[in-house]
């Protein structure tokens, strides 16, 4: 009878308590390095490049330039100061706004072509 029971039920043995060897800290360092490189090339670098382009755009503004503002207003710059500019948006209509609201400098003659 005992042989039949041993045939169907195997003996239980204690499991080996030693853990398999882990990769160590070096693989973790490589993973963090790859993560930071991804963040640098995917997020930080393009953002810094765009900020530099905006600074160059705002630095190159001059009187007479035709501009597009962030509100979608087209106009010609009539006065410039350090932080503000005056834009003529129609005959005898001028608006004072911040330089940072300019998003694009239009080619000369764009306003005449639209009117």
CATH of the domain at 71: 2.30.30
Same domain for 80 and 38: no
Q: Give the model's confidence band at 76: pLDDT under 50 very low, under 70 low, under 90 confident, else very high.
A: very high
Same domain for 53 and 68: no
User: How many whole angstroms separate alpha carbon 87 and alpha carbon 67?
Assistant: 8
In this model, does residue 89 exceed pLDDT 70? Answer: yes
Give pLDDT tens digits for 15-70.
Answer: 666 655 565 678 889 999 999 999 999 999 999 999 999 999 999 999 999 999 99
Pairing of strands 93-98, 84-90: antiparallel
Same domain for 75 and 114: yes
Name the average pLDDT for the chain.
86
| Residue 88 within a domain | yes
What are the DSSP calls for 62-110, one per residue? -TT-EEEETTS-EEEEEEE-SSEEEEEEETTEEEEEEGGGEEEEEPTTH
Same domain for 68 and 55: no
In this model, does residue 114 exceed pLDDT 60? Answer: yes
In this model, does residue 1 exceed pLDDT 70? Answer: no
Q: Which domain holds residue 76?
A: 62-115
Whole-model pTM: value is 0.62
| Residue 14 within a domain | no
């Amino acid at each position: 009878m005992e042989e039949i029971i041993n045939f169907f039920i195997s003996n239980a043995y204690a499991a080996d308590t030693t853990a398999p060897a882990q990769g160590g800290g070096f693989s973790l360092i490589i993973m963090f390095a790859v993560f930071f490189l991804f963040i640098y090339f995917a997020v930080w670098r393009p953002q810094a490049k765009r900020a530099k382009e905006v600074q160059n755009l705002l630095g190159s503004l001059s009187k007479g330039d035709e501009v597009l503002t962030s509100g979608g207003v087209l106009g010609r710059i009539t006065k410039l100061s350090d932080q503000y500019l005056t834009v003529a948006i129609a005959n005898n209509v001028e608006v004072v706004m911040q330089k940072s609201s300019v998003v694009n400098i239009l080619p000369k003659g764009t306003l005449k072509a639209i009117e």
